Amino acid sequence: MAQTADKFLLNRLSRASLVVFVAVSVLCAFLGEPLTAASAAAVAGIIISGPGFHPGREISPWPAIQQLFFAALILLLITSFWTGPWALSHWLYGLVLVAFALVPRGIATLITIVMAALAMAAAHWAEGIADRHQMISAFLLTILLSAVVVFLRNYKARQLAPLRRTDELTQAASREYLSADLHKEIQRSEREGTDMSIIVIGLDAHASDSDPEQDIRSILPRIGRFLHSQIRDFDTYYRAADLQFLVILPGIATHEAILRAEAIRKGLGTLLETHGLNLTTSTGIAGLNIGDDADSLQQSAANALRRAQQQGGNRTQAYSAWTPTTPAQKRAEGTAP
């Protein structure tokens, strides 16, 4: 819920900022300040092409478009040094944070150093400006404070990473908790004498060659939401690997888990087809047997999934019986060996 609130607030803030910068661009254009108008337009472009403005901006080509707007802003700031460091000096104060938010840390550091050197050189040659030294001092202080903010943000992310219960992209439970939770469910099943099964769901890698990686990653949040809608309140699902999910089904025997897995596989196939992705999914099922622990049960389901994908993918396979459960009509379409 906290992540949803953060995204909602970020979306509202992005839209409000877009309105402000568009207004500044238009106003400066009327007042005869083309450099400032172009800079405001570049910032507006950065905002509108970012994921904070719209979730769909995470996929290609939007990240590249956003970086192009950022490059245009840097060129405009460098141009302002030729007309005098006072022209866009106030824009430099936010450049550091924007750089670290949009580009890798090494590139952002390089940009910061280059812009600081150019600003000091421009101020040194601008002898007619009385407050040029104060401007450079304020800019360097801003860089220092921005560096502290970036460091604290990264430090906080590292500290909170082990406590994050859900995967940020798919909202599935984090894989770090999978073995411990599965161990508890196995103990409960053995104590109460009930069945338990797990399903491993994987995107067939052989079918993803024609789809860019960005498009595949963009569909993962929708897959997470679909799985959430298909399980019971006391079932749990995890992002077990980059393109794999695992569902724990307490009280479900293997034969019933096969039916549930097949329904999930068909639903995911429809979802992927709706979004124009040439992808298929396979599922592997393993039921709890005597002597199983969390690792062996996961390995059994992973082996079942591997067998399904080796047989061509787009099928459901149970570990206990090496016979495909995909209907005969699907085999006629080439999804079986």
Of the listed ranges 88-92, 208-212, 242-246, the least confidently predicted one is 208-212
Mapping DSSP onto H, E and C, the string for 231-251 reads: CCCCCEEEEEECCEEEEEEEC
pLDDT tens digit sequence for 193-218: 999 999 999 988 655 455 555 567 77
Contact 222, 170 (CB under 8 A): no
pLDDT beyond 90 at 316:
yes
Query: Average pLDDT of 225-248?
Result: 89
Q: pTM here?
A: 0.52
CA dist 269 and 266 (Å) reads 5
Query: Average pLDDT of 324-336?
Result: 40
Query: Average pLDDT of 31-48?
Result: 89
Distance set, CA 130 to CA 86, 122, 124, 125, 141 (Å): 11, 13, 11, 12, 19
Q: What pLDDT band is residue 11 in, cutting at 50, 70 and 90?
A: low
CA dist 41 and 247 (Å) reads 47
Contact 203, 237 (CB under 8 A): no
Nearest to 285 by CA among 311, 307, 313: 307
> Measured in Å, how far apart are the chain's first and last C-alpha atoms?
45
Q: What pLDDT band is residue 94 in, cutting at 50, 70 and 90?
A: confident
DSSP 197: E
Q: What pLDDT band is residue 9 in, cutting at 50, 70 and 90?
A: very low
Contact 265, 203 (CB under 8 A): no
Q: What pLDDT band is residue 178 in, cutting at 50, 70 and 90?
A: confident
Burial label, 166 (beta-carbon count in 10 A; 0-12, 13-18, 19+): middle
CA dist 239 and 68 (Å) reads 33
Q: Which positions ≥6 away from 156 have C-beta within 8 Å?
A: none
The alpha carbons of the chain give a radius of gyration, in whole angstroms, of 27
> What is the strand order of the sheet 316-318 is part of?
236-241, 244-250, 196-203, 281-287, 316-318
- Show the domains of the chain with their CATH numbers: 2-162 (no CATH), 175-335 (3.30.70.270)
Distance set, CA 64 to CA 10, 15, 77 (Å): 21, 20, 20
Of the listed ranges 156-170, 212-226, 229-243, 284-298, the least confidently predicted one is 156-170
pLDDT tens digit sequence for 275-287: 888 888 999 999 9
pLDDT of residue 90: 77
Q: What pLDDT band is residue 10 in, cutting at 50, 70 and 90?
A: low
Q: What pLDDT band is residue 304 in, cutting at 50, 70 and 90?
A: very high
